[in-house]
Amino acid sequence: MTTTISKLLPKRTPDSNGTKRSRIFNKHWVAGQLFRHSMLVVMLFVIVFFLWRSARFGTADNMQTILVAAAPFALIALGQTLVILTGGIDLSVGSIIAMSGMTAALVAKANPDQVWLAVIAALIVGLAAGAINGFLVSVLQVPPFIATLGMLTAGSGVAFALGNGAPINGLPTEFGKIANTQVLGLPIPVIIMIIGIVVMAVIMKRTSYGLRVYAVGGNPMAALIAGVKTQRILFSVYAISGILAGLSGVLLASRVISGPPTLGEGYELDAIAAVVIGGASLLGGRGTVWGTALGLLLIQTLNNGLDILTVPAYWQSIIKGILIVAAVTVDVWSAKRRT
């Protein structure tokens, strides 16, 4: 695959020692970038395909539909990006959504006049669950897969327990306004998503915290020797992932104005898929917030476009599955190229 890509590129004369090398149009660099982001290139073709096949796909209304659907995923995918950058994984976000959504519904029902209480409660639940994950991973050194798998299973149980095994209905209409109000022509969840992506991108690029997360994921031992408090960083990414899942839970519960205990079920897999398709390495240290945002939008676009073309759901699953594996295959191969 490497060679095919480099064949496509114009041949350049080999640099003699005297000539200055162009940094941007270096052949290897371009090939590397194409190779690394080839999945995005493929999926951009998919969009063009939808635009060609469906008149409805390109409408502003449909664009908004895609964004609204993307928002709850975006929040957990952002948290997941941080976790994956440290070389971990957070399987529990789906269950945290369910727990915090149910909590929000319970609190909203009990305090119909103070909807903000429901939001706070949901965020606290999300943060607490994330903190437990973080404690398990950073202090007790439980492998992230296991720690968060436990939280996934137990959290789902907690969600059902909160509703005594049934959905919580009859919520105040105020609660539904959180996710169903438009501000400046955009639904609130979309605004939160955009803010979340921008803030997280800036944090990762422009703050010492972001740099430390990359360092811990890239080489934990070297980070420790350079004075990074690696345990603290590990703890924080799971806590952040948890609180973002809590926020996502509120938005989802508010959108359907109820508290179904199965809220967010299976969302963790789409979030992980978004991060991976966005070019992050599951080994840690490599990946970007923008990559995740693009990966997520492309998954959502694919869902939407295939729906419009009335492709059956099972075919959609097959297509997504193939894409995820292809993205990771590319990741593994590009890692091999580097060494």
Partner 1 sequence: MAEHNPDVALSCRGITKSFGSSPVLKSISLDLELGTVTALSGENGAGKSTLMKIISGQVRPDSGEITVRGHQLPFGNPRAAHKLGVAIVPQELASIQDMAVYENIFVGREIRKKSGLLDRRAMIAEAHTLLQSFDVDIAPQTLMRKLPVGLKQIVEIVKNSSTGARVLLLDEPTSAISDREVAGLYKVVRHLRDQGVAMVYTTHKMEEIQAIADRVVVLRDGNLVMDQPLASISDDDIVTAMIGRELETLFPPTPTRPADPGEPLLQLDDVLVDGAGGPVSLAVGRGEIVGLAGLVGAGRTELLEAVFGTRKIHSGHLHVNGKQMKKHHPVAAIQAGIALIPEDRKHSGAVLSMSILDNGSLPRLSNYTVAGWLNRGKQNAEVSAAMKSVNLKSRGLSQPVETLSGGNQQKVVLARWLTDKVDVLLLDEPTRGVDVGARSEIYRIIVDLAASGMAVLMASSDMQEILGLSHRAIVMREGQIVGTLDRDSLTKETAQEEIFKYASGLGSTPAPLSHTEGVA
Which of 5, 44, 194, 211 touches partner 1 (CB under 8 A)?
A: 211
Q: Please state the closest distance from residue 305 (CB atom) to partner 1, in A.
A: 34
Binding flag, residue 218, partner 1 (CB under 8 A)? yes
Q: How far is the CB of 265 from partner 1 (least distance, A)?
A: 34
Judged by beta carbon, residue 11 or residue 338, the one nearer partner 1 is 338
Of 227, 312, 314, 336, the residue at the interface with partner 1 (CB under 8 A) is: 227
**Does position 228 bind partner 1 by CB under 8 A?**
yes
CB of residue 335 to partner 1, shortest distance in Å: 10
φ/ψ of residue 244, rounded to 5: -65, -35
Residue nearer to partner 1 on the CB measure, 226 or 318: 226
Structure tokens at 283: 């080994």
Q: How far is residue 27 from each of residues 6, 11, 21, measured CA to CA in Å? A: 8, 8, 10
Q: What dihedral angle (degrees, nearest 10) is formed by the CA atoms of 33, 36, 40, 46?
A: 100
Give the shortest CB-145-to-partner 1 separation in angstroms: 20
Contact between 288 and 236 under an 8 Å Cβ cutoff? The reply is: no
Question: Per-residue string for binding with partner 1, 167-206, x by CB under 8 A?
Answer: ---------------------------------------x
Q: What are phi and psi of 183, to 5 degrees?
A: -125, 130
Question: How far are the Cα atoms of 140, 145, 225, 285, 298 from residue 220, in angstroms, in the given order?
Answer: 16, 18, 9, 10, 32
The single residue among 35, 171, 189, 212 that binds partner 1, judged by CB under 8 A, is 212
What interhelical angle do 208-218 and 188-206 show, nearest 10? 70
The DSSP element (H or E) to which 329 belongs, if any, is helix 313-338
> What is the contact surface with partner 1 in residues (CB under 8 A)?
21, 23, 206-209, 211-212, 214-215, 218-219, 221-229, 285-286, 338
